[in-house]
Amino acid sequence: MALTGLSVIGTTEFQSKRDPSYGTDKATVFELGTLDIFITSWLTDRAMVFGQREDGNNDVMFRTKEANLDAVRFGLKGIRNFVDRMGSEIKFRTIKRNVNGITYQVVADDVLRYFDLETIEELATELRRLNTVTQDEAKNSEPALSP
């Protein structure tokens, strides 16, 4: 059996189990897409910072919070039933962002500012899961056609 590629088409709906309305039509629904290899590589590279400690030894720092935020910025494709503390709907909005010569539609910062850190981490974890082809998925996929 051959390797199976990621599906970069379409979205998957996700609800937070922390949502009091989880499983109902009133729950917040996040539409998540997969991250292509170019963004995944860029995110991974930006998450690691190399430096030197005071004792002269080399050090590696991982900026996981920033990497999670960027994963959501690039991977979130839509939101339904997302409201502010006053009950007003938060409009989903994207902007264009160029990374390594490729233009992406990403979530605007004025939308992201409404998310708490725990939600960002939860969505980033789900995005990482969506960006992994499991053996079961590979077995169930259609064989690729050669060009």
Tell me what pLDDT residue 63 has: 87
Residue 63's SS3 state is coil
Rounded Cα distance, 104 and 83, in Å = 25
pLDDT in tens, 34-71: 999 999 999 998 888 888 888 888 888 888 999 999 99
Q: What is the pLDDT of residues 57-116, one digit of tens each?
A: 888 888 899 999 999 999 999 999 999 999 999 999 999 999 999 999 999 999 999 999
Domain map (residue ranges) of the chain: 12-131
What is the per-residue pLDDT for 144?
45
DSSP states along 5-54? PPP-SS-EEE--TTSTTTTSTTS-EEEE-PPPHHHHHHHHHHHEEEEE-T
Average pLDDT over the chain, rounded to whole? 87
Tokens of 65: 């919070």
| Amino acid at residue number 94 | T
Lookup: tokens for 114 = 């409404």
Confidence of residue 143 (pLDDT cuts 50, 70, 90): very low
What is the spatial distance between Cα 143 and Cα 4, in angstroms, rounded to a whole number? 8
Task: Find the distance separating the first CA and the last CA of the chain, reported in whole Å.
Answer: 18
- Residue 24's pLDDT band (cuts 50, 70, 90): very high
Closest CA to 13 of 103, 27, 142: 27
Amino acid at 98: N
Q: How far apart are CA 107 and CA 92, in angstroms?
A: 8
Q: What whole-number distance in Å separates Cα of residue 101 and Cα of residue 103?
A: 7
User: What pLDDT score was predicted for residue 134?
Assistant: 54
